Amino acid sequence: MRQKEISLNIQPINPLDDQDEEHILTSWNTPLREDAFAVSDDEKVEQIEKRFREIMEILGLDLNDDSLKGTPRRVAKMYVKEVFSGLNPKNKPQARLFENKYKYDQMLVEKDITFYSHCEHHFVPIYGKAHVGYFSNGKVIGLSKINRIVQYFAKRPQVQERLTVQIGKELQRILGTESVAVVMDANHMCVASRGVGDTNSKTGTAFFGGKFEEENTRREFLNYINSK
């Protein structure tokens, strides 16, 4: 089967533009209250467990059933310790840089990074592939750290546009260069499993900085990530 190419018509995004009446992107930073970490993760698990139990009871589920009685605890731990662990800055990957001893001055690309996130509008999964490229400014980053940075920002309630920009800006900061590119191609379960129920559509977003703003460089990057 021929691999589907990622072809994007990139338009400037105004973060204050309404995507529609229910989908409003207000900031490239994840909206967090100032007291977001006033309580410990363990306390958050306890509070979420209690409230999720209430949700299940409102839905009419019998929590005395062997299959269901542990669900509130499992969901609470999953939220805090796993799928939303990227909300807590203490979990941010510590990226170590290395001297570019080989004097490699061409584009470096890591593609097909699998990521899982959750739509902040319905708390259902977003999943897909991220493709990252950069030009060294004298330093290089370990390849696994690129994956970890993608995963860190994905593990929080997200919109794909924000996720793409957060990864791009973080890599620019770490690498000390504007020449960073990020392309994300994702499935949204809020589209596939509810609402319009379209299981075939995908969403593409991109972040291009520095040399990647040049048409030839951007085309080279897109051609590479579309190659087998």
Question: What confidence category does residue 198 fall into, taking pLDDT thresholds of 50, 70 and 90?
Answer: low
Residues 103 and 77 in one domain: no
**Considering the domain boundaries, does residue 1 fall inside one?**
no
Residues 53 and 115 in one domain: no
Q: What is the CATH number of the domain that holds 53?
A: 1.10.286.10
Each residue's pLDDT tens digit, 122-174: 999 999 999 999 999 999 999 999 999 999 999 999 999 999 999 999 999 99
**Considering the domain boundaries, does residue 206 fall inside one?**
yes
pTM: predicted TM-score of the whole model, two decimal places: 0.86
Residues 163 and 101 in one domain: yes
**Considering the domain boundaries, does residue 116 fall inside one?**
yes
Residues 48 and 159 in one domain: no
Short-list 54, 52, 57, 56, CA closest to 78: 52
Name the average pLDDT for the chain: 88
Residues 173 and 127 in one domain: yes
Task: Indicate the residue among 59, 83, 107 that finishes a domain.
Answer: 83
Q: Which domain holds residue 76?
A: 41-83
Residues 77 and 102 in one domain: no
CB within 8 Å of 175: residues ≥ 6 apart:
97, 134, 136, 137, 139, 141
What 3-state class would DSSP assign to 224? helix
Q: What is the CATH number of the domain that holds 123?
A: 3.30.1130.10
Compute CA 205 distance to the chain's CA centroid, rounded to the nearest angstrom: 11
Residues 202 and 134 in one domain: yes
Residues 108 and 171 in one domain: yes
| Catalytically active residues, by annotation | 119-122, 160, 188, 190
For residues 186-204, one letter each, b for 16 or more C-beta atoms within 10 angstroms of the residue's C-beta and e for the rest, the string is bbbbbbbeeeeeeeeeeeb
CB 228, CB 3: distance < 8 Å: yes
User: Domain count of the chain?
Assistant: 2
Measure the CA–CA gap between 57 and 53, rounded to whole angstroms: 6
Residues 68 and 168 in one domain: no
Q: What are the start-end ranges of the H helices in 68-108?
A: 71-77
The pLDDT of residue 28:
86
Residues 179 and 136 in one domain: yes
Each residue's pLDDT tens digit, 32-43: 999 999 999 999
Measure the CA–CA gap between 56 and 10, rounded to whole angstroms: 42
